[in-house]
Amino acid sequence: MSQSFRQRDILEIARADGRVRVEDLVTRFGVSAQTIRRDLTELAESGWLERVHGGAVLRSSVTNIGYEDRRGTNEAAKAAIADACSVAIPDGATLFLGIGTTTEAVAAKLLGHRELLVVTNNINVANILAANPECEIVLSGGRLRRLDGGLVGTLTTSVLEQFRFDVAVIGCSAIAEDGELLDFDFQEVGVSQSIIRRARATWLVADRSKFERSAPVRVGSLRDVDRFFTSAPLPEEVLRLCRDWGTEAHVVAPDGDAADRAAG
């Protein structure tokens, strides 16, 4: 019931670090341990955290461990990509956000945008954007894939057909040298094609690691992409293809000042 700034912040820290310690929080906020304990108890009572001796930990669940790991990789690059992508999205837009940790990063950067309509087949995107009261959210239906929070199945396509997007932001598992976009799930083929058809502009977000991997299913091509946000200079071959196809490549540098994650 009691709501304070602190509790929000504590939750935020917990989300970032996975846990919090009373002692640290006392230093951080300059209040007594008593007060911190009270906060933690309340957060635990309302189900956000789980109390442990000396502090509290995030209530495990919701997303599985492998995913959390993956989410951590290339975080700075993803944030930079998401930043560049989100500033290119105007208020009032109608968007599609697809599956993938990078599109989720984009969602997080859209929390300040206004009057958005976002359609997604990614439950994490919905959870993130729920925090933006100015954003209407439409979820496609489907089976929940724990691996990445994706909603898969034929339903997604039928939902997509009901919209016309200003921008569709998609990710992919890998990018081949010849500009093909690859994924692990063949069900995604239909979804991708549908998205590209229903969107006035298709934007791809993918960090450099996607060039170093491969995946079995072709879901599309860079040819279909209008803008490509990535984190490192493109391979020469791909760059040439982008020029030929009129795909704008936006190469962002994970910015330096994000490195000041001192011993907090």
Partner DNA sequence: TCGCTTTTGATCGGTTTTGAGTGTTTGGGC
Partner DNA sequence: GCCCAAACACTCAAAACCGATCAAAAGCGA
Q: Say how many residues make up the chain.
A: 264
**Which residues on neighbouring strands pair with residue 56, listed in sequence order?**
20, 51
When the beta carbons of 30 and 246 are compared against DNA, the nearer one is: 30
Instruction: Count CB atoms within 10 A of the CB of residue 154.
Output: 11
Tell the smallest beta-carbon distance from residue 33 to DNA (Å).
Answer: 6
Structure tokens at 124: 């994490």
Contact pick of 112, 257, 260, 261 for a second copy (by CB under 8 A): 112
Name residues contacting a second copy, limited to 65-94 (CB under 8 A). Answer: 65, 68-69, 71-72
User: Looking at this protein, which amino acid is placed at residue 251?
Assistant: V
Place of tokens 């994650």: 261
- Helix (H/G/I), strand (E/B), else coil: 206: coil
Tell the smallest beta-carbon distance from residue 2 to DNA (Å).
Answer: 3
> Which letter does DSSP use for residue 131 in this model?
T
Tell the smallest beta-carbon distance from residue 64 to DNA (Å).
Answer: 17
Do 245 and 227 meet the contact criterion of CB atoms below 8 Å apart? no
**Binding residues with a second copy: total (CB under 8 A):** 57
Contact pick of 12, 17, 19, 37 for DNA (by CB under 7 A): 37
23 sits near DNA (criterion: CB under 7 A): yes
Name residues contacting a second copy, limited to 118-137 (CB under 8 A). Answer: 123, 126-128, 130-131, 133, 136-137
Tell the smallest beta-carbon distance from residue 11 to a second copy (Å).
Answer: 7
d(CA 100, CA 91): 23
Binding part of the chain for DNA, among 10-18, 27-35, 148-156, 207-215 by CB under 7 A, reads 27-35
**Which residues on neighbouring strands pair with residue 229, listed in sequence order?**
205, 250
Which of 89, 100, 155, 147 is CA-nearest to residue 122?
100
When the beta carbons of 54 and 233 are compared against DNA, the nearer one is: 54
34 sits near DNA (criterion: CB under 7 A): yes
Q: Residue 66 binds which one of DNA, a second copy, none, with CB within 5 to 8 A depending on kind? A: none
**Binding residues with DNA: total (CB under 7 A):** 22
* Element containing residue 15 per DSSP (H, E): helix 5-17
Structure tokens at 130: 């729920």
261 sits near DNA (criterion: CB under 7 A): no
When the beta carbons of 17 and 237 are compared against a second copy, the nearer one is: 17
d(CA 226, CA 66): 32
Do 20 and 55 meet the contact criterion of CB atoms below 8 Å apart? yes
- Residue 260: exposed, middle, or buried by beta-carbon count in 10 A (0-12, 13-18, 19+)? exposed
Q: Which spans of this chain sit near DNA (rule: CB under 7 A)? A: 1-4, 6, 22-23, 30-35, 37-39, 41, 51-55
Q: Which spans of this chain sit near a second copy (rule: CB under 8 A)? A: 1-5, 8, 11, 15, 18-19, 21, 46-48, 50-55, 57-65, 68-69, 71-72, 112, 123, 126-128, 130-131, 133, 136-144, 146, 151, 153, 155-156, 158-159
